[in-house]
């Protein structure tokens, strides 16, 4: 892997790796946990279904990424892949024709900011592979709640499996670097016109990029203060819908 790309060969994969593949001309990426034997556990709304953003336009533009298979001719290894929730897929179905990338954990702030696109790395450290696999397999059986593009998406699922961390406030996005990146870009665009009267074009570009980087950094799961480690068994027990993960995390903090 290099500074600009996290692409990885299949032969280099290890059980417990957080992997992803870009979709829709690199508009977004789909994430999952590689569990060995060519299989991936991931969280999806199912092929061709709305992702539940609350916006009809966005629902048509963005889709979760369960591989598209005819229900009459399912993948012989995976079976029916059109259902939503936490599912297990072979690597080919997970990639759905895309390239394979490895999500990086424990990166430095410099490297994090050098990778200007969100959803590729985090400052947070990964737990041991056995803990990652235990969470992924448990959630495969018990679910991860309802899909939400900003607070509970496929990247959120993979990051939780890797770290056990949940956000316990209701005023910000979840763990997803992709969502944080999009919101950082949107907030930068909205606030930029206010600076046209006070700076040159070059200065404006530098200030805008600085705002974007700062917003991404403070939203990363590795530096945020509004997170708590939540055992996977308690996650399911106290918040089956995961609509308000902050309540689950608050309970865990009291223990």
Catalytic residues: 30, 42, 154
145: left (phi over 0), alpha (psi -120 to 50) or beta: left
For residues 163 and 255, give the distance between their C-alpha atoms in angstroms, rounded to a whole number. 18
- Of 25, 220, 209, 185, the residue nearest 104 (C-alpha): 220
Give the helix/strand (H/E) hosting 158: helix 154-163
Q: Quote the distance between the C-alpha of residue 65 and its chain's center.
A: 12
Consecutive H or E run containing 90: strand 85-90
């Amino acid at each position: 892997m290099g500074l600009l790309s996290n692409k990885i060969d299949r032969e280099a994969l290890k059980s417990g790796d957080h992997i992803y593949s870009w979709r829709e001309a690199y508009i977004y990426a789909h994430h999952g946990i590689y569990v060995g034997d060519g299989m991936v556990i991931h969280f999806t709304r199912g092929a061709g279904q709305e992702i539940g953003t609350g916006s009809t336009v966005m629902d048509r533009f963005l889709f979760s990424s369960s591989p598209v298979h005819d229900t009459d001719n399912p993948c012989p290894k995976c079976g029916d892949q059109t259902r939503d929730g936490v599912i297990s897929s072979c690597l080919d179905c997970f990639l759905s024709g895309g390239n394979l990338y490895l999500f990086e954990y424990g990166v430095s702030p410099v490297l994090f900011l050098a990778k200007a696109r969100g959803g590729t790395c985090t400052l947070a450290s990964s737990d041991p592979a056995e803990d990652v696999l235990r969470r992924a397999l448990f959630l495969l059986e018990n679910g991860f709640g309802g899909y939400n593009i900003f607070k509970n998406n496929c990247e959120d699922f993979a990051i939780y499996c890797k770290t056990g961390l949940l956000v316990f406030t209701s005023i910000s996005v979840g763990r997803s670097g992709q969502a944080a990146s999009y919101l950082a870009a949107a907030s930068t665009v909205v606030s930029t016109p206010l600076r046209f009267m006070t700076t040159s074009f070059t200065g404006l570009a530098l200030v805008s990029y600085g705002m974007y980087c700062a917003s991404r950094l403070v939203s990363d799961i590795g530096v945020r203060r509004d997170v708590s480690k939540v055992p996977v068994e308690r996650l399911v027990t106290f918040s089956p819908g995961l609509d308000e993960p902050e309540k689950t995390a608050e309970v865990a903090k009291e223990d």
